[in-house]
Amino acid sequence: VVEIDGSQHMEEKGIQKDRQRDAYLKSRGLEVLRFDNLQVLRKLDAVMETIFRAMVERSDR
């Protein structure tokens, strides 16, 4: 699961919701990768590389 988070995810309420969501998804066997908007806008290549590596690692399991 790839999540791209805006500023609301940096506030306490958003952080708590994200933790709950991440725990639920993990309990279903899903991995969550989180990036903030600025990472995607400024370092897209690095974000894509991280996603690609996670996919490769997951396929090796």
Which range of residues forms the domain containing residue 12? Answer: 2-59
> How many CA atoms does the CB half-sphere of 56 hold within 13 Å?
6
Please, which pLDDT band fits residue 7 given cuts at 50, 70 and 90? confident
Please, which pLDDT band fits residue 61 given cuts at 50, 70 and 90? low
Closest CA to 54 of 19, 5, 2: 2
Are 43 and 52 contacting, i.e. CB atoms less than 8 angstroms apart? no
Q: Give residue for tokens 């725990």.
A: 23
Are 61 and 31 contacting, i.e. CB atoms less than 8 angstroms apart? no
The domain tally of the chain equals 1
**Measured in whole angstroms, how far is the alpha carbon of residue 44 from the centre of its chain?**
14
Give tens-digit pLDDT for 27-58.
999 999 999 999 999 999 999 999 999 999 98
Residues 44, 50: Cα–Cα separation, whole Å: 10
